[in-house]
């Protein structure tokens, strides 16, 4: 059993927890993830490691309440316990020989982007961070990004906070003005990452994308995170959970990934509604 050390809401649908898991805390690196089960009958879900404190033996996770399991997880409180907390899994984000990096995060994807930005900052790289949200009410982790970024740009789709527009707007402006980066790393909704890749392509800047949004099982057994890459005209199949989650953005077939990702939306919404009804009736 794994104790919940702290819990706090970041906005109305996103929650941060700190879990006591010393073995994971000592080994996890930015870009990796864990698999947890809320209780003995719960499903396994992958969540990215959003930070570690080896001295305390804790691991930070940040999750959006979208389905039945995240709904159950959000009903757990400080002092409570999780059944399983396994990791670290996946391949850590590549950081070698990168001196100037642009981190582009969208929505809850910023929870994955933040530890990556922090690691580059720790290594002495020049970090530019662009984070985007639909509106002011769902902005998260701004202070944390500001602390680890040499330059931070915050965008909101509706202009209710900071600058109006999506994350590709300032990225295009910088690239068109002659700004160069050793790497662009983007983490967020699949459609956002697709357009970040398209924005960077004319300038031949390497782009790494995190394919966490399509992971379900987390071990490669279910096949749901199957990904088609185009490598020099040859179609290659990889799995986001065991081969990634980071991939060369120019190789990813985003349209296929988005189509597969939509297959589970109705099921998750229905499962969450059933779970919410059970909690309302006091059956959990």
Question: What local confidence, expressed as pLDDT, does residue 217 receive?
Answer: 63
The Cα 258–Cα 160 span in angstroms is 28
Q: What is the pLDDT of residue 274?
A: 47
Give the range with max mean pLDDT: 162-171, 223-232, 255-264: 162-171
Residue 66, pLDDT score? 85
Say whether the peptide bond before residue 92 is cis (omega within 30 degrees of 0).
no
pLDDT classification of 257: cutoffs 50, 70, 90: confident
Same domain, 161 and 178: yes
Q: What is the CA radius of gyration of the chain?
A: 18
Asked if residue 144 and residue 195 are part of one domain, the reply reads: yes
User: Residue 265: pLDDT band by 50, 70, 90 thresholds?
Assistant: low
**So what's the pLDDT on residue 270?**
46
- Residue 100 has what pLDDT? 98
**pLDDT digit string, tens, across residues 64-112:** 998 888 999 999 999 999 999 999 999 999 999 999 999 999 999 999 9
Position 266 confidence tier, pLDDT thresholds 50, 70, 90: low
Mean pLDDT of 144-149: 97
Is residue 242's pLDDT more than 90?
A: no
pLDDT value at position 226? Answer: 84
Instruction: Let me know whether 115 and 202 are in one domain.
Output: yes
Mean per-residue pLDDT, 8-13: 94
User: Looking at residue 33, which CATH number applies to its domain?
Assistant: 2.40.30.10
Between 214 and 63, where is the model more confident?
A: 63
pLDDT mean across residues, the chain: 89
Q: Which of 153, 174, 207 is the last residue of a domain?
A: 207
How high is the pLDDT of residue 264?
59
How many structural domains is the chain composed of? 3
Nearest CA-CA partner of 149 in 122, 177, 179? 122
Q: Are residue 153 and residue 121 in the same domain, yes or no?
A: yes
Q: Do residues 236 and 162 share a domain?
A: no
CATH number at residue 101: 3.40.50.80
Do residue 175 and residue 135 come from a single domain? yes
Q: What is the pLDDT of residue 227?
A: 86
Q: How confident is the model at residue 280 (pLDDT cuts 50, 70, 90)?
A: low
pLDDT > 70: percent of the chain: 88
Query: Quick check: 276 pLDDT over 90?
Result: no
Global confidence as pTM: 0.88
Model confidence at 119, pLDDT cuts 50, 70, 90, reads: very high
Let me know whether 215 and 203 are in one domain: no
pLDDT of residue 218: 66
* DSSP-derived secondary structure for the chain: -EEEEEEEESSSSEEEEEEE-HHHHHH--TT-EEEEESSTTPPPEEEEEEEEETTTTEEEEEEE--SHHHHHHHT--TT-EESEEEEEESPPPP-TT--EEEEEEEGGGHHHHHHHHHHHHHTT-EEEEEEEESSGGG---HHHHHHH-SEEEEEETTSSSSEES-THHHHHHHHHTT---SEEEEES-HHHHHHHHHHHGGGT--EEEE-GGG-SSSSSSS-TTEEEEEETTEEEEEEHHHH-SEEETTTB-HHHHHHHHHTTHHHHHHHHHHHHHHHHTT--
Domain with 28, as residue range(s), is 2-89
- Of the pLDDT bands very low, low, confident and very high (cuts 50, 70, 90), residue 272 is very low
Task: Give pLDDT, residue 282.
Answer: 63
If we measure between CA atoms, which residue out of 3, 20, 7 comes closest to residue 55? 20
């Amino acid at each position: 059993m794994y104790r919940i050390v702290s819990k706090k809401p970041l906005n109305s649908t996103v929650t941060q927890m700190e879990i006591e898991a010393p073995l994971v805390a000592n080994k996890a690196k930015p870009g990796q993830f864990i698999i947890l089960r809320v209780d003995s009958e719960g499903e396994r879900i992958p969540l990215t490691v959003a930070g570690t404190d080896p001295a305390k033996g804790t691991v930070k996770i940040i999750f959006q309440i979208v389905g039945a399991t995240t709904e159950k997880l959000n009903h757990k409180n400080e002092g409570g316990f999780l059944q399983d907390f396994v990791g670290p899994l996946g391949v850590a984000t590549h950081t070698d020989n990168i001196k100037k990096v642009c981190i582009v995060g969208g929505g809850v994807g910023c929870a994955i982007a933040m530890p990556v930005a922090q690691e580059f900052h720790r290594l002495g790289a020049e970090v530019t961070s662009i984070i985007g949200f639909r509106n002011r009410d769902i902005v998260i982790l701004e202070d944390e990004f500001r602390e680890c970024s040499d330059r931070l740009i915050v965008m909101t789709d509706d202009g209710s906070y900071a600058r109006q527009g999506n994350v590709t707007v300032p990225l295009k402006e910088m690239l068109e003005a002659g700004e160069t980066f050793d790497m662009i790393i983007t983490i967020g909704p699949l459609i956002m990452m697709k357009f970040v890749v398209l924005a960077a392509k004319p300038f031949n800047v390497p782009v790494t994308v995190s394919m966490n949004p399509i992971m379900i099982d987390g071990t490669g057994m279910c096949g749901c995170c199957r990904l088609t890459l185009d490598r020099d005209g040859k179609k290659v199949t990889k799995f986001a959970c065991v081969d990634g989650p980071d991939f060369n953005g120019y190789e990813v077939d985003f349209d296929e990934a988005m189509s597969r990702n939509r297959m589970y939306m109705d099921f998750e919404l229905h499962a969450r509604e059933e779970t919410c009804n059970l909690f309302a009736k006091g059956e959990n």
